Amino acid sequence: MSTDQYHEPPSELSAEVRTFARMCASLSEEAEAIGWYEQRIAVETDEDAKAIMTDSLGEEFKHFSMELEFLLRKKPQWRETARGILFKEGDIVEHGEAAEEAASSS
């Protein structure tokens, strides 16, 4: 079994922490796959191949979103910070700073 996602000995980590680490690794892998599909779609000239890749990209969006939701449910401070940033118009950095401050003072 690979333990690349761990920075501490896996045997010393609780099952909950190991699951969280696996989900973080999965989230990272989905983000990487999204980037790959975006590049492939950008250069693909065969319309049938492009349609299949676009469909696959949608699956990656779904998986990324489900994994993110799982992680946010496990970490209330992360969820609170995300609420202050996601789906808001305006300056992302300003929202981030305000959200971080609000979440850490809760």
CB 72 within 8 Å of CB 78: yes
Is the pLDDT confidence value at 106 over 90?
no
Domain of 90? 76-105
In this structure, are 34 and 65 located in the same domain?
yes
In this structure, are 70 and 48 located in the same domain?
yes
On the CB side of 99, CA atoms within 13 Å amount to 19
In this structure, are 42 and 66 located in the same domain?
yes
- Report pLDDT digits (tens) over 42-84: 999 999 999 999 999 999 999 999 999 999 999 999 999 999 9
pTM, two decimals, is: 0.88
In this structure, are 37 and 61 located in the same domain?
yes
In a domain, 69, yes or no: yes
If one counts the domains in the chain, the total is 2
Is the pLDDT confidence value at 36 over 90?
yes
